[in-house]
Amino acid sequence: MTDIFNGRLLLMTGIGLVVALSSKVANADDAANCAPIFNTERVRLHASEKVDLCALTAGKPVLLVNTASHCGFTPQFKELEALHQRYGSEGLVVLGMPSDDFFQESDDQAETAEVCYKNFGVTFTMLAPAHVKGPEADSIFEAVGKQSAFPSWNFNKYLISPQGQVLHHWGSRENPLSDDITERVRKALNVESSG
């Protein structure tokens, strides 16, 4: 009986070791495919949970957007979600970062979360608020700003390659479902035009 117990214990230990090693290999693969700009963690909006941006974005193009809950462009959350629904399964990562740099974001993350999740049904990744310009800019937006331009208002959109290069930057007025954005997203994903 002891031999059977020891055999099962050895088998379970071996399985645990294989799972742990597989996880380390997967994490190493993510890090190898991760753009330096996203080789970091951030806290999710209105949560204590951290998002491993490297694992989220490894090998994928990213549409990065600086958002605000009390802006005339806030309804763009609906189009950003539609873009996420349409191209997320193809590999596009839509990533939102709220900011009060233009004085149109709530001081209360619960209110920001309600606008995003309840009012507009956002399911793409939203991060905790941060600065997107100036000397205190989040490192992601600092890198983006140096490559392209810092946001001049809310809802600037940056299409970033899997290697971390800004492929294109659009201002606030560009609808996330515009022909230009969808065509460039398809090109970044190597997806044929739907019509």
- 86: domain CATH number is 3.40.30.10
pLDDT of residue 23: 42
Domain range for 23 is 1-32
14/109 same-domain check: no
7/99 same-domain check: no
57/104 same-domain check: yes
Whether residue 143 is contained in a domain is answered as: yes
What is the arithmetic mean of pLDDT over 143-170? Answer: 97
23/53 same-domain check: no
Residues that are catalytic: 71
118/95 same-domain check: yes
Q: Quick one: pLDDT band at residue 18, thresholds 50, 70, 90? A: very low
Phi, psi of 59 (to 5 degrees): 75, 10
149/176 same-domain check: yes
52/103 same-domain check: yes
Whether residue 171 is contained in a domain is answered as: yes
72/113 same-domain check: yes
How far apart are alpha carbons 121 and 75 in whole angstroms?
A: 11
Say how many domains are in the chain: 2
pLDDT exceeds cutoff 50 at 144: yes
Which one-letter DSSP state was computed for residue 90? G
> Residue 72 corresponds to which tokens in the numbers above?
């005339």
How far apart are alpha carbons 173 and 176 in whole angstroms?
A: 9
> Residue 31 corresponds to which tokens in the numbers above?
């890090």
pLDDT exceeds cutoff 90 at 192: no
pLDDT of residue 6: 57
Whether residue 71 is contained in a domain is answered as: yes
Whether residue 131 is contained in a domain is answered as: yes
Between 6-15, 81-90, 105-114, the lowest mean confidence (pLDDT) is in 6-15
13/81 same-domain check: no
48/21 same-domain check: no
pLDDT exceeds cutoff 70 at 105: yes
What is the arithmetic mean of pLDDT over 127-134? Answer: 98
pLDDT of residue 33: 85
What is the arithmetic mean of pLDDT over 178-188? Answer: 98
**Percent of the chain whose predicted confidence (pLDDT) is above 70:** 82
How far apart are alpha carbons 27 and 21 in whole angstroms?
A: 10
What is the arithmetic mean of pLDDT over 173-183? Answer: 98
How far apart are alpha carbons 99 and 61 in whole angstroms?
A: 22
Whether residue 194 is contained in a domain is answered as: no
HEC per residue, 4-52: HHHHHHHHHHHHHHHHHHHHHHHHHHHHHHCCHHHCCEEEECCCCCEEE
Q: Quick one: pLDDT band at residue 19, thresholds 50, 70, 90? A: very low
> What's the farthest any 2 CA atoms get from each other in the chain?
73
